């Protein structure tokens, strides 16, 4: 079994870009949840990422798959990141990441690290620094 897989859902590509950066920093493979690749869950640590849509909703591919895939979280280590818009959606900022973290915990996963929340819309200059710092906490 691989050590780490990054699994993301992304509608306009922003979460995908961050997932690719996190995967590179962790020397891990990245999987799009929308692709339906069962091998995505075959790792000791799953790094799960989703943008938030609607008002506090999961990204579409996660919304379609979360119920079906959450059994794969049992007895796994899980880390979670989210992308959102902290100005346009201050009251529902990155709620999808919290939804995924809660689903993983309920399914028996152990959460690793804090939820990483990224606003690439308004604070793109902070993205790389946040990723680098967060990845260090996940490795530890």
* Residue 126 contacts ligand FMN per CB under 6 A: no
* Residue 89 contacts ligand FMN per CB under 6 A: yes
* Closest residue by beta carbon to ligand FMN: 84
C-beta of residue 35 within 8 angstroms of C-beta of residue 78: no
Q: Which is nearer to ligand FMN, 75 or 122 (CB)?
A: 122
* Interface with ligand FMN (CB under 6 A), residue from 84, 109, 113, 116: 84
What is the 3-state composition of the chain as percent helix, strand, coil, each rounded to the nearest 5?
45, 25, 25
Beta bridge partners of 128: none
* Interface with ligand FMN (CB under 6 A), residue from 13, 71, 87, 137: 13
**Selected range binding ligand FMN among 14-22, 28-36, 105-113, 131-139, rule: CB under 6 A:** 14-22
DSSP state, residue 37: -
Strands 29-32 and 57-58: unpaired
What are the residues binding ligand FMN (CB under 6 A)?
10-16, 51-56, 59, 83-85, 89, 92-94, 120-121
């Amino acid at each position: 079994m691989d050590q780490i897989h990054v699994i993301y859902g992304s509608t306009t590509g922003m979460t995908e870009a961050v997932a690719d950066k996190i995967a590179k920093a962790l020397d891990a493979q990245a999987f799009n949840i929308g692709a339906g690749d069962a091998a995505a869950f075959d790792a000791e640590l799953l790094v799960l990422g989703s943008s938030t849509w609607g008002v506090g909703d999961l990204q579409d591919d996660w919304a379609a798959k979360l119920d079906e895939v959450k059994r794969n979280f049992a007895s796994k280590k899980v880390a979670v990141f989210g992308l959102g818009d902290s100005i346009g959606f201050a009251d529902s900022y990155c709620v999808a990441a919290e939804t995924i973290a809660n689903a993983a915990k309920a399914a028996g996963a152990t959460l690793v690290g804090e939820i990483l929340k990224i606003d690439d819309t308004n604070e793109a200059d902070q993205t790389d620094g946040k990723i680098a710092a967060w990845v260090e906490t996940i490795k530890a």
